Amino acid sequence: MRLTPGLAALLLFVGAPALGYYLVKGRDTQPTSATSQRAPGGFPGGGSGGGGKRGFQTEGPAPVALGRVTKQSVPVYREGIGNVQSLAAVTVRAQIDGRLLSVHFMEGQDVKKGDVLARIDPATYKALYDQAVAKKAQDAANLANGRIDLERYRRLAQTSAGPKQQADQQAAQVAQLEAQLKSDQAAIDNAKAVLDYTTIVSPLDGRVGLRQVDAGNIVRASDAGGIVSITQVMPIGVLFTLPQRDLGTTVAALSRGPVAIDIPASDGASLLARGTLQSIDNQIDVTTGTVKLKATFPNTDRKLWPGQFVSVRVVVETLTDAKVVPASAIRRGISGNFVYIVGDDRKAVVKPVTVTLQNENIAVIADGVDFDQQVVTEGFARLTDGKVVVVAGAGNGEGKDGNSAPRGDIKQGDAKPGDGKRGKGGDGTWGGKGKRDAANPEQSGAQSGGPTGGEKRERRKRDADQGAPDGSGPGAAGQGAAGQGAAGQAPAGQGATNKGLQ
C-alpha cells in the first residue's frame, strides 16, 4: 500500500495529540529519585526523610505484644499412652441349670457385694435338700438303736451269758452307722450349697453392665455369655507404657516416694484425673522397646472408664520457683536461643537464654532473664536489636506507660506545609494530602490544607528536578506504625512525627 500525502497528513493529525498526551502523562507519573530508593529493610520510601508510607512504617516503632517473666512451680513429665482397666471384673454365670425366675438389678446399676442379682427356680434343689435331711434322720435312728444293742451284747459277754463275737459285730455295726451319719451330713451340706446357687448374688462392689438373659429363660452353668458382667470402677487402674529411655528417671522418682500420675483431658488444658504409680513391670518388651507401668486412680467422679484410651503424664520432678515465659517468646538463632527484653526505654534488646523445659504453652529459662522483666511474644517481623517498640492494641498508639515511644522523641508542630512529614504542622496545615469530603472533595481538601491535583503535579516535578535531598516528598494519609493520626485534625497524642526515628 502506497502512502499518499493525504494519508500521511491524516495520521499526523490523529497521532500527534496522542503522542503529546503520552509524554506529558509519563512525566507526571515518573517516580522521583527520593521515593524510588529502597530502605535497608527492602521497603520503598527509605532514606532519612521517610518520603513514602511504607518507608515510614519500616522506620517507625515496631508494634509488638509483651509478656512477663513469672515465678512458677513447673512439673517435669514423662509422657506415655495406655488404657483404663478395671481392678476387678467378673462375668456372673449360673452355677446350676434351671429356669430363671427373676432378675433383681437394673442395667448400669451400682451394686454391693452380696446384693441379689437373680433367682433360679429352687423347687428341684429344695427337694434334694429335704431328701438329704431325711436320710440323715433315718441313719441317726439306726445308730441310736445300734448303740443300745451294743451295750446289751457287751453286758452279756461279760457275764458269759452271750457270745463275745456278737458284741464285737455289734460294735462294728455302730461304727458303720456313725460314718453313714457323717456322710448324710455332707450330703445335706452339698444339697444346701446347690440350693443356695439358685439365688445369684454380686461377688464384689461395682457397676453392672447390660443384661444378657431375661427372666423365664433356661440358664445353664455352661453358658459362655453369663447373665451380666460387673466391673469395679472405684478405684480403677491404668496400664500404660513408657519408652525404655525414661525407665531410669521413673525408677529414681519412685524410689524417692509416691509418683503422681496425671491424665490430661482431650483439650490438653484441663486435668482429667490424678493418681499414683502402683508398679513397674519386671522386664522391657524387646519388640517395642517399652516398659509397662500400672497406676491407680480414685475415680470418684467416674471420668475414667474401663477400656478407655488415655494419654498419661508421669510427674518425675517439679521445678520450684522457675522462671517461666510464654513459649512464643523463645527465638532460635545460629548462636542458640534468645529473647527480646523490653525495658523502660521501650527498646527491644536481644538476650541469650538457656531453656530448661519447653512445651506448646510455656518455656522455663535457667538464666538470661530476671523475674518481672517484659519479653516480646508477638511482632518479630520488624524487630531488631535496639528497636523501639510500641504495644499493639494499647489504644491511641500508646504503650503501657502512655507513650508510643520514649518521651521526647515524638513532637507536634514540627511539620510544615508540603515538607513531606506526617503530622500537623505548626501553622495548622498537614504535610500529607487532606481528608476530603466525598460530596465536595475540592472544598474539603482546601479546608484541610491538602494540595489540589495541580499542586501535587507541580510538587512531583519539583522533587524530580531537585532529587529531594532533604527526603521531602508528598506525605501520606493514614495511621502510622506508632499510632499517628490520619490526615485531618487529630486528637492530642496522634498525628505526631517520630523525629528520633527519621
Q: Which residue has the higher pLDDT, 37 or 20?
A: 20
Q: Which residue has the higher pLDDT, 122 or 478?
A: 122
Sorting pLDDT into bands at 50, 70 and 90, what band is 322? very high
Write down the pLDDT at residue 157: 80
Lowest-confidence segment of 105-119, 218-232, 311-325, 451-465 by average pLDDT: 451-465
Write down the pLDDT at residue 51: 40
Length of the chain: 502
Q: Which residue has the higher pLDDT, 290 or 14?
A: 290
Across all residues in the chain, what is the average pLDDT? 76
Element (H, E) at 35: helix 33-36
- Tell me the C-alpha distance between 183 and 283, whole Å: 52
CATH of 62-87+234-403 among 3.40.30.10, 2.40.30.170, 3.40.50.300, 3.40.50.10890: 2.40.30.170
Q: Which residue has the higher pLDDT, 364 or 476?
A: 364
Q: What is the pLDDT of residues 332-387, one digit of tens each?
A: 988 899 999 999 999 999 999 999 988 888 999 999 899 999 999 999 988 899 99
Sorting pLDDT into bands at 50, 70 and 90, what band is 158? confident
Q: What is the reported pTM?
A: 0.55
pLDDT at 399 over 50: no
How many angstroms separate the most distant Cα atoms in the chain?
183
- DSSP, collapsed to helix, strand or coil, labels residue 29 as helix
Write down the pLDDT at residue 30: 45
pLDDT at 37 over 60: no
pLDDT at 438 over 50: no
Spatial contact of 233 and 86, defined as CB atoms under 8 Å apart: yes
pLDDT at 417 over 60: no
Write down the pLDDT at residue 462: 61
| Residue range 111-139: mean pLDDT, rounded | 93
Spatial contact of 406 and 482, defined as CB atoms under 8 Å apart: no
Q: Which of 48, 66, 71 is nearest to 347 (CA)?
A: 66
Q: Which residue has the higher pLDDT, 95 or 400?
A: 95
pLDDT at 412 over 80: no
Sorting pLDDT into bands at 50, 70 and 90, what band is 26? low
Domain ranges, ordered by start, for the chain: 31-58+415-501, 62-87+234-403, 92-230
Spatial contact of 429 and 488, defined as CB atoms under 8 Å apart: no
Write down the pLDDT at residue 436: 42
| Residue range 141-145: mean pLDDT, rounded | 89
**Which residue is associated with the grid cell 493520626?**
485
pLDDT at 262 over 90: yes
Spatial contact of 447 and 435, defined as CB atoms under 8 Å apart: no
φ/ψ (deg, to 5) at 458: -65, -40
Q: Starting at the edge strand that comes first in sequence, how are the strands of the sheet with 110-111 ordered?
A: 89-92, 228-231, 206-208, 110-111
Cα separation values, 261 from 74, 80, 233, 253, 271, Å: 15, 11, 18, 12, 11
| Residue range 408-420: mean pLDDT, rounded | 39
pLDDT at 488 over 60: no
Spatial contact of 296 and 311, defined as CB atoms under 8 Å apart: no
| Residue range 58-86: mean pLDDT, rounded | 90
Write down the pLDDT at residue 332: 92
Sorting pLDDT into bands at 50, 70 and 90, what band is 9? low
Bridging pattern class, strands 62-68 and 116-120: unpaired
Write down the pLDDT at residue 169: 87
Q: Which three cell numbers stand for residue 31?
A: 517516580
pLDDT at 277 over 90: yes
Sorting pLDDT into bands at 50, 70 and 90, what band is 133? very high
**Contacts of range 286-292, beta carbons closer than 8 Å, 24 or more positions apart:** 288/241, 289/243, 289/244, 290/80, 290/241, 290/242, 290/243, 290/244, 291/241, 291/242, 291/244, 291/247, 292/239, 292/240, 292/241
Write down the pLDDT at residue 455: 60
The proportion of the chain whose per-residue pLDDT surpasses 70, expressed as a percent, equals: 66
Q: Which of 305, 299, 111 is nearest to 205 (CA)?
A: 111
DSSP 135-157: HHHHHHHHHHHHHHHHHHHHHHH
Q: Which of 436, 433, 417 is nearest to 425 (CA)?
A: 417
Sorting pLDDT into bands at 50, 70 and 90, what band is 94? very high
Sorting pLDDT into bands at 50, 70 and 90, what band is 464? low
pLDDT at 450 over 60: no
CATH of domain 92-230: 2.40.50.100
Write down the pLDDT at residue 452: 53
Lowest-confidence segment of 70-84, 205-219, 303-317, 486-500 by average pLDDT: 486-500
- Tell me the C-alpha distance between 315 and 75, whole Å: 6
Three-state secondary structure of 217-258: CEECCCCCCCCEEEECCCCEEEEEEEEHHHHHHHHHHHHHCC
pLDDT at 55 over 80: no
CA 66 to chain centre: 23
Sorting pLDDT into bands at 50, 70 and 90, what band is 276? very high
Q: What is the pLDDT of residues 164-202, one digit of tens each?
A: 888 888 889 889 889 999 999 999 999 999 999 999 999
Helices and strands, number each (H, E), in the chain? 8, 24
| Residue range 425-452: mean pLDDT, rounded | 42
pLDDT at 43 over 80: no
Q: Which residue has the higher pLDDT, 87 or 459?
A: 87
- Tell me the C-alpha distance between 217 and 101, whole Å: 8
Sorting pLDDT into bands at 50, 70 and 90, what band is 238? very high
